[in-house]
Amino acid sequence: MTFTKTSQKFGQWADSRANTVYGLGFSSEHHLSKFAEKFQEFKEAARLAKEKSQEKMELTSTPSQESAGGDIQSPLTPESINGTDDERTPEVTQNSEPRAEPTQNALPFTHSSTISKHWEAELATLKGNNAKLTAALLESTANVKQWKQQLAAYQEEAERLHKRVTELECVSSQANAVHTHKTELNQTIQELESTLKKKEEEIERLKQEIDNARELQAQRDALTQKLQEVEIRNKDLEGQLSDLEQRLEKSQNEQEAFRNNLKTLLEILDGKIFELTELRDNLAKLIECS
């Protein structure tokens, strides 16, 4: 089964087994969403319970088959479960001592009891889920009845208002003079509103002009301040330029003096080189003569 929202406040689900469609209505979309969530939770819980039951049945069927295959000569019968098998339990006489039942015969009975308890728990869970769904269905049915009553009340109110409108229309046919006066008053009010609107537009325009003038004044003040800052900066730059010119002139003078000194040094060096050359020539001549 799947719950489907057909509108903001109505929903339905179909039971394919019963070939039946159930419809529900709620007072608000929140209640509808809450019911849909609960319906999905119960459906998921039932599905999980069914899967667990199938898994447990598969697990329990495997040991039973192994037990049956391992003990072919002694099949499982009610007599063997109750401990009354003639082949395994000898007759008990008055003089014989009582003998305990075999443990192997008690195991199937215990296993069957466990499966029975499990199915009883699963049945109780399904009954609980069914009870919750039934309660939700009853609550939804009560909500539907309440909505029907409200709808009937709304219909009665609509009919009453319709009658009232008809009465007012009859009365209005007798009040043409009042209607004419009302029309004149409405026209006067419209004219006054139009004049007031024009005045408001004029005031708004003047406010805009004032704001623009203030903005221009602020811009002018900002530009004046920037101009003053630029003038101060220019004066500083002029001072720095004058200082640089003085430094450049001084550097040029120093370079000129350095050049002059370098020329003088070169001249002296040339003279020394010439003297050394003459000295070398004289020494060479002396060596040749000797």
* Structure tokens belonging to residue 98: 């009582």
Question: What pLDDT shows up at residue 248?
Answer: 93
Could you tell me the residue ranges of all domains in the chain? 3-64+76-86+102-172, 176-263
Tell me the three state secondary structure of residue 92.
coil
Give the per-residue pLDDT at 264: 92
Candidates 13, 12, 14, 10; CA nearest to 31 is 10
Pick out the chain residues at pLDDT < 70.
Answer: 1, 18, 58-113, 115-116, 118, 140, 171-175, 290
- pLDDT for 53: 75
CA–CA gap between residue 4 and residue 14 (Å, rounded): 9
In 256-289, which positions are buried (b, 16+ CB within 10 angstroms) versus exposed (e)?
eeeeeeeeeeeeeeeeeeeeeeeeeeeeeeeeee
What's residue 249's pLDDT? Answer: 92
**What does the pLDDT read at residue 145?**
74
The pTM score is: 0.25
Phi, psi dihedral angles at 15 (to 5 degrees): -105, 105
Q: List the beta bridge partners of residue 19.
A: none
Token duo for residue 267 = 């001249």
Selection from 38, 41, 43 nearest residue 14 by Cα: 43
The pLDDT tens digits of the residues spanning 36-85 come to 888 888 778 878 887 777 777 766 655 444 444 444 343 433 333 334 34
In degrees and rounded to multiples of 5, residue 4 shows phi and psi of -125, 135
| All residues at 6 or more sequence positions from 80 whose CB lies less than 8 Å from its CB, including other chains | 74, 88, 105
Residue with tokens 């608000």: 28
Amino acid at 129: N
